Amino acid sequence: QVQLDQSGPRLVKPSGTLSLTCGISGGSIRSSHWWTWVRQSPGGDLEWIGEVHFSGGTNYNPSLQSRVNISVDTSRHQFFLKMSSMTAADTAFYFCAGNGPSALGVLTYWGQGSLVTVSS
Amino acid sequence: DIQMTQSPSTLSVSVGDRVTITCRASQTISDWLAWYQQKPGKVPKVLIYRTSSIMSGVPSRFSGSGAGTEFTLTISSLQPDDFATYYCQQHIHYPYTFGQGTKLEIK
């Protein structure tokens, strides 16, 4: 069973850059075509940030695209999120996730989530 | 972006009730609609994808229906473990988008 383990700083300064890592275990990084980052506001709203294919291709949410970079390292079975110019509005739970075999865009595998707070 | 609107936002229900949650898309998404369940402090769990396909291990009391722009999630007989927040998600057009959630509360 594929498991995702997130890591990275939980506190980011305003105007700083968020860097999160998601490690994949229990299966191949090729077990999912697309590896995804999602965030959830303190009020509960879910927002799709973007995804990376194991070959390196990416798709981003246009609302965040100018600030986001998602990449993959297949040799280390990891994928990454970088989000720049962070503000208080970016305070949220950040999840890494992956498609299962069911259908594209369906998030079957989830990391444990990281509460990221933007504060000085 | 496709806007996903769920109703109601909160539903007060009792064990044994038949529960129906509605999700409307701002434009047609064919049948590319998934449902997730999230309990407090936990990550979302996908229940249904492509409108009506149930994930392995999900109880048969959960079912989904609809097409185009209007979809429903039905729980045939609510169990204590089902008190949670449910989200719909369209998974055909980028960016993928979610509904705002429907919280099931104990009546």
Q: Tell whether B53 is within 8 A of chain A (Cβ).
A: yes
CB contact under 8 A, A103 and B49: yes
Tell me the torsion sign for CA atoms B89, B90, B91, B96. Answer: negative
CB contact under 8 A, B101 and A45: yes
- Res. B102 pLDDT band, cuts 50 70 90: very high
Q: Quick one: closest CA in A to B38, which residue?
A: A44
pLDDT value of position A100: 81
Q: Tell whether A69 is within 8 A of chain B (Cβ).
A: no
pLDDT value of position A15: 98
As a whole number, mean pLDDT of residues B16-25 equals 98
Q: Tell whether A34 is within 8 A of chain B (Cβ).
A: no
pLDDT value of position B19: 98
B53 CB burial (10 A radius; 0-12, 13-18, 19+): middle
Q: How many CB atoms lie within 10 A of CB B29?
A: 23
List, in sequence order, the alpha helices (H) in B23-69.
none
**Amino acid letter, residue B56:** S
Q: Which of B46, B92, B95 sits opposite A108 (nearest CB)?
A: B46
Over residues B39-94, the pLDDT tens digits come to 999 999 999 999 999 999 999 999 999 999 999 999 999 999 999 999 999 999 99
Q: What is d(CA A37, CA A47) in angstroms, rounded to the nearest whole number?
A: 9
Q: What is d(CA B63, CA B55) in angstroms, rounded to the nearest whole number?
A: 11
Q: Using DSSP, state whether A61 is helix, strand or coil.
A: coil
Q: What is d(CA B46, CA B55) in angstroms, rounded to the nearest whole number?
A: 7
Q: Which of B49, B95, B101 sits opposite A106 (nearest CB)?
A: B49
Q: Quick one: closest CA in A to B42, which residue?
A: A112
**B91 chain-A contacts, CB cut-off 8 A:** 103-106
pLDDT value of position A31: 77
Q: What is the mean pLDDT of each run of 10 residues along chain A (120 residues)?
A: 93 98 91 91 97 95 98 96 98 95 90 97
pLDDT value of position A103: 82
pLDDT value of position A119: 97
Which of A74, A92, A68, A77 minimizes the C-alpha distance to A19? Answer: A68
Instruction: Give one word for A108, left, alpha or beta, with left for phi > 0 and alpha for psi -120 to 50.
Output: alpha
Q: Using DSSP, state whether A14 is helix, strand or coil.
A: coil
Q: Tell whether A46 is within 8 A of chain B (Cβ).
A: yes
Q: Quick one: closest CA in A to B55, which residue?
A: A102
pLDDT value of position A77: 95
pLDDT value of position A104: 87
Q: What is d(CA B102, CA A83) in angstroms, rounded to the nearest whole number?
A: 29
Q: What is d(CA B19, CA B11) in angstroms, rounded to the nearest whole number?
A: 9
